[in-house]
Amino acid sequence: MKLGPIRHMGFEQALLPKRMAIVSHSHPSLSKGGAEISAYALYRGLREIGVDAIYIGSCAETDRQKLSLGHETEFAVFRDAARYDHFYHLAPAGEEEQLLTILREQRIGLVNFHHFYNLGLNTLRASRRLPGVLNFLTIHEFLAICHNHGQMVTRPAQVLCERARWDDCTSCFPGESRSRFAMRKETMLDGFGAFDGFVSPSRFLAERFIEWGLSADRTTVIENGLLAPPEARHGERGEGAWVFGFFGQITPFKGVDVILDAAELIAKDPDLARKVRFRIHGNLVGQSASFTERFEAALKAYPFLTYAGAYSNASVHRLMADCDYLVIPSKWWENSPVVIQEAYSVGLPVICTGIGGMAEKVPNGVSGLHFRLGDASDLLRAVQLGADPRNHATLKAGIPPVLSATGMAERYLAFFATMAASRMVAAP
């Protein structure tokens, strides 16, 4: 499937406005998700190469005291979270007016939205109505397509969903009608329709959105970039145990229960239990009481399993440098997890579920190893393969270079300029 072009900057650069806004559904001081981290890295990357860019994040009224804007070019719009419509993704008009005020007062000529969640589709539409303003949308996951938290996983069966069909959607949500889901899709596509261009961090995600109805000619793929090169890097291995690290929010979709299943298998093999270590970093989000009880019991029962707690983005590279592999056991497709780029930046191969954006970013046998979805015994097989110095050296050598924030910014600018030129040609 042919996607939209990215060209080197040339005469088209003159078509771009001087001031740009990167708008996200949150701010990194409030939330550490991949979308807001990559949006913030793009904002910083643009400023580093001389573009007059601002960052605007959505913040719940209840989180005002937690918000920490790092620079005078960072702004926030505040929302009444209780009044947000989570089915059609519409926000109260107050948030829409706040954003428009900032865009007008800051004389913004190009807006790049990273997500529509919290902001609302009506806020995106309002930006498109500003005269002479270019509008772009970066898609980070499947929320527009899938009402189940954008996971493309059925409920309650928790089976991967290949594409949204109204009959399947009503099976997941029997309280909603087919007509409501049809209207939801129409609302989404109408909200996206008049954008000047779309960016996806992975081809996997882009192709599914194009199949769903997004314009291929206005869609391109640009990898997430990292804000700064890490100081810490994984060095040569010693003689100690192999350390397999998990980094991220410990949600039901992230598959930490698969690691717990694998731990039960490892405990039956004393030699293997001495050879490997699983180290889990992150905070528990949305987990059931039964999972929390099991998690705490496993930590007490297995000396090779440790929980390092939550972490800050500033420390992630240092923590990763103490591991030999990153493990991503996610039970959903994922898209382009920033954690993969972070691992690559410190020289860490990745062991992941062999599906979706993970499989795209981690070629099996090149820079990491795949295992079957939800299969603890197959994860254990990959761990045993990884715990071989020759395999580790091969996978480490296959790690690709990581895109910087400035490199990402340059690619975005090239795409913005190309789409601006196309719009100028298409104009009467």
pLDDT tens digit at each of 428 positions of the chain: 556 555 545 445 667 998 999 999 999 888 878 889 999 999 999 999 999 999 999 999 999 999 999 899 999 999 999 999 999 999 988 899 999 999 999 999 999 999 999 999 999 999 988 999 999 999 999 999 999 999 899 988 888 998 877 778 999 999 999 999 999 999 999 888 789 999 999 999 999 999 999 999 999 999 999 987 566 666 666 678 999 999 998 988 999 999 999 999 999 999 999 999 999 999 988 889 999 999 999 999 999 999 999 988 788 899 999 999 999 999 999 988 889 999 999 999 999 999 999 999 999 999 999 999 999 999 999 999 999 999 999 999 999 999 999 999 999 999 999 999 887 766 55
Instruction: Tokens 């926030």: give the residue.
Output: 76
The CATH homologous superfamily of the domain defined by 11-228+404-426: Glycogen Phosphorylase B; (3.40.50.2000)
Write the CA distances from 257 to 78, 104, 147, 254, 369, integer angstroms.
36, 48, 24, 8, 19
The four Cα atoms 135, 140, 145, 146 give a dihedral, to 10 degrees, of: -140
- 382 alpha-carbon distance from chain centroid: 24
Top CATH class of 242-397 equals alpha beta
- Residue ranges, CATH 3.40.50.2000, the chain: 11-228+404-426, 242-397
pTM passes above 0.85:
yes
